Structure 1
Amino acid sequence: MTRHPQHNAPAARRCFFALAVPEKVQQQAINWLQGLPTEARSRQVPKQNHHVTLAFIGNVSAAEIQDLINAINGWQLSAFELCLDRPGLLGNSHYLTWQASQISQAHQQLVTTLRTLCRTTLGAACPVDDFEYLAHLTLRRHSHLGASLPSFGAVQWHCQQFALYQSDLTGDQAQYQVIKSWPLSTY
C-alpha cells in the first residue's frame, strides 16, 4: 500500500484506533470525578468521548482510511480483559487519567499490530506513537491537581471489539465518531 499524495489536503481527517468504554465504566468515572475538587481551568472529557486509545494515526485522507480498513478486514485477534486500576497524570501532569497498571498479551498484540499496520500503510509520515503504550481513559484536560491523587477502585471489562475513530473539532471541543469497528474473537 502506498502513501496517497493528498495526505495533507483539506479533506484529511484526524483519526485513531481505540476501545469503546462501557456505560458502567463511564458512570464510575463520572462518580469518581464528582468527588474531586473543581478546578477553574480544568475541563471534564464528555462521557460520549470516553475511549482507550490503541494507536493514534493523525491526519489521513479518505483513501488512506480505506487502505487501513481493507487491511484490517478479516483479522482474527483475541478479545481480552482490561482493568483500569489507578489514577494518573499524563502530558506534563495536565491530563487526569484512569490507567491500567498492566495489560494482557492479547491487548498488547492488538496495539503492536495496529502500530505496525499504520507504519506500513501510511509510511514515514504516520505519527504512530513510538513510546511505551499505557492503556488509559482521559477524564479531565488542563488539570492541575498535583501528584497527590485520591485513590479509587478498579474497574474491569471484556473488550470484544475495537474501532477506527474520527475526531472532529467543533469550537474548542472534539467530537469522536466511529468510522468502522471490528470484533475481537473469543476462542
Structure 2
Amino acid sequence: MSESKRLFFAIALPEEIRAQIVYWRAQHFSADAGRPLAAANLHLTLAFLGNVSGKKQRALEQLAGRIRQPGFTLTLDDAGQWLRSRVVWLGSRQPPRGLLQLADMLRAQASRSGCYQSPQPFHPHITLLRDASHAVNIPPPGFRWSFPVQEFVLYESQFLNGRTRYTPLNRWPLKTEQ
C-alpha cells in the first residue's frame, strides 16, 4: 500500500511578486504580529486535499488534466485578518471569475474523489502570517500586485526538520486567450 501525502492544488506566485510581498510584510508587521510564512511557501490555495493515497493522487491528477480553463489576471489589492483562525492574509477585492471557476472545479473533483472540502465559501487569499494571536493593524491597501495566471499546481506539504516545505508535484497549463 502506498504511503499517503498531504496535498493541495494552488496557484504559485511569480518570484518577483513574492519578493515584493515579503518586503511589504516586513515593513508593515512587527515580529510579534504572527509567524510569517517562508517566501517560497507563499501561494493561493485552490483546493486542499488532505492526506491522499498514491492511487487517489493519480486519479486527481488525471481529473486535473482534463480542465480546460482559460488563464486570467490576478490582482492582489486587499488584506485582512481572521481572528478565529489566527491568520493575516492578502487577497483580491474582486476575484476574477476564472479563479473562482477553477477553484470550484477542483474542489468539486476533490469532493467527488472523497477529499473533504470545507462548506465555507471559497475566499481566495495568500496567508502572510500564522499564529496571529491578537488583532494586528492591517495597513490600508497601498499596494496592487497583478500577474497573469497561466497554470495551477499540485503541491505536497511536508514538515521536515521543524519546517514546512511545499513541493510542486505536477503543473497544468491554463488555456491562453486566442
Cα 1:91–1:51 change in 2 (3 A) is farther
2:77 is aligned with 1:88: no
Secondary structure in structure 1 of the residue aligned to 2:113: helix
Alignment partner for residue 180 of structure 1, among 170, 173, 176?
A: 170
User: Would the aligned equivalents of 1:97 and 1:138 in 2 still touch at CA under 8 Å?
Assistant: yes
Residue 159 of structure 2 is matched in structure 1 by 169
1:52-131 matches, within 5 Å, as 52-90=44-82, 92=84, 94-122=86-114, 126-131=115-120
User: Would the aligned equivalents of 1:93 and 1:146 in 2 still touch at CA under 8 Å?
Assistant: no
Cα 1:105–1:89 change in 2 (3 A) is same
CA shift at 1:81, angstroms?
Answer: 1.0
- AA of the residue aligned to 2:90: W
Q: CA RMSD in A?
A: 1.8
Whole-Å Cα distance in 2 between the matches of residues 146 and 71 of structure 1? 40
Q: Deviations over 1:129-168 (max 9, x none)?
A: 2211111111111124625311231111110000111100
Cα 1:34–1:13 change in 2 (3 A) is same
User: TM-score, with normalisation over the residues of structure 2?
Assistant: 0.91
**Matched residues, number:** 176
Secondary structure in structure 1 of the residue aligned to 2:154: strand
2:129 is aligned with 1:137: no
Residue 3 of structure 1 is matched in structure 2 by none
CA shift at 1:93, angstroms?
Answer: 5.7
Whole-Å Cα distance in 2 between the matches of residues 179 and 160 of structure 1? 17
5+ long unaligned stretches in structure 2: none
Deviates more, 1:59-68 or 1:90-99: 90-99
CA shift at 1:170, angstroms?
Answer: 1.4
Alignment partner for residue 26 of structure 1, among 13, 18, 26?
A: 18
